[in-house]
Structures are given as C-alpha cells and as structure tokens.
Chain A
C-alpha cells in the first residue's frame, strides 16, 4: 500500500524567507502523480503544484517549486519569498497512474510571521 509521510508537523518562518516542506512516499509503482495542497484557515483545499513521476524536470508555479527525487521517493515543496497569505496547512498527496484514490500525508502547519 502506498504511504505518504510528512515529518514536520509544524514550521514557522519570517515573511520573505524561503521555507522547504518535506514529504516522502512509498510505492512500488513506476508511474504516478504527486501533489501539494494548501488548506488555509478557511479550510478550503487548494491545489498548489503537481508533479508527474515520469517527468524529470521539477515543477514550478510562481513562488512554489518542488524538489522531486524519484529514487529517494522524496517530494519537497519550496516556498520562496514567503507571504503572510501562505500561512496554512500543507498536505502532500500521491496517486497512482490510472488510480482514483489520493493518499494524503498528515500535513505540515506552516506559519508565516510578519
């Protein structure tokens, strides 16, 4: 069974700093997708970024980028120039090729301090 582990329950940084959130996963599949979702205090889950396992290039979305290490089964999220609005729970998630079930990590609570 696939598992997703986020080893940092909470993190806190100052505004404008760069922060990296860690995620590791376990799977025997060769093709899959990885996601980072953001859940702000409003509780709405928002897709931040996604990575397809067969693509070697790391995905980027504005200030958000990932470091995807397939052999190490690691998928970290880097937030550059952090903003107060980045304060949220961040969830790493995995889904196998053709599957319908997302597997979520337990989340990292990120606080951006002014």
Chain B
C-alpha cells in the first residue's frame, strides 16, 4: 500500500537522551515535513525538505535535527537541547503529481513522544 509510515507509535525519552523518530514514504514525493502538535494547538512546522540532501528550518527547529539521505526517508532527532519534547509529532510528504502543483500534503499516523 502507498503511504507514509511513522515509527514508533509511542516513544519515551529519558533526561539528556537523543531520540529519533522515523518517517518513510513510498509515494515518490519530493517534499517531506515534520510538524509538532501540542494539546489545543494547531500544527507547527519543525523542518522540511524539498529534495534529497537539503532541508530547511521551520518555525520551531531549535532542539531538533533532521537528515534527508534518501528520497523515501526523513528521520527527526529530538535532541537533549529540546527542553519540552512531550508532544505528538506528525510527518507529511507532498508531491507534484496532483494537478495544480505540489501543494497537497499527506500525513502519517504520528508518533507520541513523552518524557520519563
């Protein structure tokens, strides 16, 4: 099935630990995104990548890092510098196959990160 797979579904982080959230897509999309969702708030963009080996900071990039070594994969690392990491993290991808351009983003099922 085509889609976006995020893993794990639940993740726990210890104090001072870096953790990595996985995002894989088989939609052949060029662009991939990471969003953070906090209770009662909309989604905020952490990082995005429009092409392999290139990525840009979003609105809340501090304490996070990403890589884009393959078109299909866009892992997000939550570093120890992120002091309030507890949130729901959503990965999305967007392609150019839809008439009208690249502007539709499809989402994975998300990862809930909690601090122990």
Spell out A's residues near B (CB within 8 Å). Answer: 4, 9, 33, 35, 37, 42-47, 50, 52, 91, 95, 97-102, 104-107
Q: Give the residues in chain A near B88, CB-CB below 8 Å.
A: 43
- Is A100 in contact with B42, judged by CB distance below 8 angstroms? no
Residues of B within 8 Å of A101, CB to CB, are 45, 48, 58
**Nearest CB of A to B87, in Å:** 12
Interfacial chain B residues near A107, Cβ < 8 Å: 40-42
Given the known inter-chain contacts A52-B100, A98-B101, A100-B50, please indicate yes or no for A91 contacting B107, CB distance below 8 A: no
B residues 33-65 near A (Cβ < 8 Å) are: 33, 40-45, 48, 50, 56, 58
- The interface size bin for chain B is 20 to 34
Closest A residue by C-beta to B30 = A100
A98 to B102, CA, bound (A): 8
Q: Are A91 and B109 in contact (CB under 8 A)?
A: no
Contacts of B100 in A (CB 8 A): 33, 52
Given contacts A43-B88, A52-B100, contact A102 B40 (CB under 8 A): no
